[in-house]
Amino acid sequence: MKTREMQTTLFYPDEAVFEPEALHYDLGKRLYDEFQARGVTLRTAPSHNRLEVAGEDHCQRFHHAKRMVAVGVKHSLAPQPCRPSADYRLVLNTSCPAKCHYCYLAATLGERTYVRLYVNIDEILQAARKQIKKQAPDVTTFEASSSSDPVAIEHLTGALGQAIEFFGQEPCGRLRVVTKSDHVDSLLAVAHQGHTRFRFSVNTEEIVSRYEEGTASLDRRLAAAVRVHEAGYPLGFIIAPLIIYEGWRLEYAELLDRLAASLPPTAAEDLTFELIMHRFTQRSRRLILERFPGTTLAMDTRDRIHKGFGKYVYEPQKAQELEGVLRSYIYERFPHAQIEYFT
């Protein structure tokens, strides 16, 4: 089995590119000064959306981009739908330092997989507030992890902590966060008021070891989940992507056993699960094979069906078996848990 590149230290880039407008914001100036003090290569560019990435081929450019950050202003502030995870997206940043082979952003970002840090956090949150007020007294939910792992870069911006505190003050607003990082300690004392559900993305050791480069180990994620629960956050887990391979039933059972053994009994009283089976498009398949030439990730269209939007997923019989097995495993160990969706 391939040894995974583990996330053990905080991410800092080798190169940072700043939009001139970003330096008009306090966060932009702070990031510039911090990166300069750390010896990070600095340059400016008109737009964070169209950066040139060095490298002779797509593989080199991808791995180079994962060591870059672009610091800019987010101008598109209108809330975008984010089903089934939440009502809307809350985009505080884009991309992350990890190199998960199956990442669904592979197709949407193309070669622009560098981390984008947005400096106008107040403006982003005010746009969310307008939407919350528009839909009140109904509760409006926002997903902070639709385009990134915000926990993995929280030490750079503090944006997630700011958002969590913001939603703690919104009676009709709720925030949802997903991470594969264990760097949660700076968020434990934030005044969340129970309005942010903190979920950890988990999978079998086989999947984590082979395909989740640059992420925290499963043990570190579970230890972080305990700390998050003890800080009073509502807790959840995303098991994704669900992959059928030899021995998958046994290994997913072992995963749920580890969850049950790791969590205190109080965590099971308000626990959610989200189940997402593996999917890919023809474009993401091509990009994945270029970035990870030796990957063993199964992407044969002959045993998948076309679901729309160019996505290939397991055929109905296999999908039903996958869902049935995971639901039974979860309810055996966590009878009071809520499975929010399978997709």
Per-residue pLDDT of the chain (343 residues; tens, 9 = 90+): 444 455 568 999 999 999 999 999 999 999 999 999 999 999 999 988 888 898 889 899 999 999 999 999 999 999 999 999 999 999 999 999 999 999 988 778 888 999 999 999 999 999 999 999 999 999 999 999 999 999 999 999 999 999 999 999 999 999 999 999 999 999 999 999 999 999 999 999 999 999 999 999 999 999 999 999 999 999 999 999 999 999 999 999 999 999 999 999 999 999 999 999 999 999 999 999 999 999 999 999 988 999 878 899 999 999 999 999 999 999 999 999 999 999 9
**Residue 197, in any domain of the structure:** yes
Q: What is the pLDDT of residue 310?
A: 86
Residue in the block written with tokens 């972080």: 224
**Residue 6, in any domain of the structure:** no
Tokens of 202: 């988990």
Helix, strand, or coil (residue 306): strand
Nearest to 340 by CA among 272, 292, 268: 272
Cis before 137 (ω within 30)? yes
**Residue 44, in any domain of the structure:** yes
Asked whether 255 and 202 are in contact (CB, 8 A), the reply is yes
Residue in the block written with tokens 């939603």: 167
| Model pLDDT for residues 152-176, shown as the tens digit of each residue | 999 999 999 999 999 999 999 999 9
CATH number at residue 235: 3.80.30.30
**Residue 10, in any domain of the structure:** no
Helix, strand, or coil (residue 258): helix
**Residue 3, in any domain of the structure:** no
**Residue 40, in any domain of the structure:** yes
Cis before 234 (ω within 30)? no
- DSSP H/E element including 261: helix 248-262
Asked whether 17 and 48 are in contact (CB, 8 A), the reply is yes
Report the 10 Å Cβ neighbour count for 39: 9
Residue in the block written with tokens 């598109």: 76
Domain range for 172 is 15-342
**Residue 24, in any domain of the structure:** yes
Domain count, the chain: 1
**Residue 284, in any domain of the structure:** yes
